[in-house]
Structure 1
């Protein structure tokens, strides 16, 4: 429970006395092997989680079977397809572990009940919504206005070690380009860095 508490406090601090009033069990640890789903498209979205360890991807699948990654969930991030949790309909996306991962999970409806009980929980809920809105708005802006090269540079700036953490296929899918195009961008970026030095 201490690991869960620390992970949640990274998003928004919860005083210990407030935390200790949670019904038991409220949060549970979920271990996911790489490739296993936290949420599968078409299934009801009922639970959310905080990533304690590992990396997950949120993705859409087209009718042709093409996958498009909309976001990654790293340590400390919220996961659970907020859009589908709020609607209460079957999920429009899948959430799958890229690496062996550990999540602190809870039922979303139970979590919403906490909002009316304490301002600290309400603040946590608001902080989650704000962070997700910022992430979504940034993603839309980049896809609609930036070139693939600019998107790639922004990704490296925000997550410098991402190429050690994720495969080229995952990164290219997130950027909306092919793995071949990503290889070209990597070479170009590396050559530009060599020229500058």
Structure 2
């Protein structure tokens, strides 16, 4: 749980009383590789901190799946649009490795916002950070080639390429696995 405190303190220093209240609402969840966190049509009820592991965001389709995000250790994961609106998710989230999460429910997070000094500031800054990540991805999809997106991914997350199946990486950068193979041959 100490890694969550360090992460939050980087966003905005949290008082010991606010931390005590927030951390009392967290519960630990251990998940196996390929466990589903949320399915299409479910309402997201948890904001989770990844203590260990990798998760993938994707849209299931008949022919293939469209991967549109990965999250790693020391990051928060949630189907955020479903979480804040309490409406059904339009995508799924699964673990790609054995994963350890610390979770807080929607109801408990609302209580943290209401009863702590720092809760709203931290929540706002986390939402702003999620927006920036989403915007960066959208701009890259519109302005960069698949090869540039692959190189960006490689430079930002070198471990990613060793731990995530190439079919998911291909989907994430918007190409077929065969096209990704050609890109990889070209740049090595």
Determine whether 1:188 maps to 2:186.
yes
Give CA deviations for 1:73-101 in whole Å, capped at 9, x if unaligned: 10111111111111211111111000000
Matches within 5 A, 1:28-47: 28-47=27-46
Residues 53 and 101, structure 1, Cα contact 8 Å, conserved in 2: yes
Q: Distance in 2 between matches of 1:78 and 1:18?
A: 19
Aligned Cα RMSD in Å? 1.8
**Which runs of structure 1 show a deviation greater than 4 angstroms over 4 or more consecutive aligned residues?**
none
Specify every segment of 5 or more residues in structure 2 that has no aligned partner in the other structure, as ranges.
Answer: none
Question: Which residue does 1:15 correspond to in 2?
Answer: 15
Alignment partners' CA distance in 2, 1:111 and 1:50? 13
| 1:57 matches 2:56 | yes
Call closer, same or farther: CA 1:10–1:73 in 2, change over 3 Å.
farther
Specify the structure having the higher radius of gyration (Cα): 1
2:148 to 147, 150, 153: 150
Deviates more, 1:13-22 or 1:87-96: 13-22
Q: Secondary structure at the match of 2:167?
A: helix
1:83 to 65, 81, 89: 81
Q: Which runs of 5+ in 1 are unaligned?
A: 191-197
- Find the aligned partners of 2:150 and 2:39 in 1 and give their Cα distance: 28
TM-score between both structures, scaled by the size of structure 2: 0.91
2-side partners of 1:104 and 1:129: how far apart?
A: 18
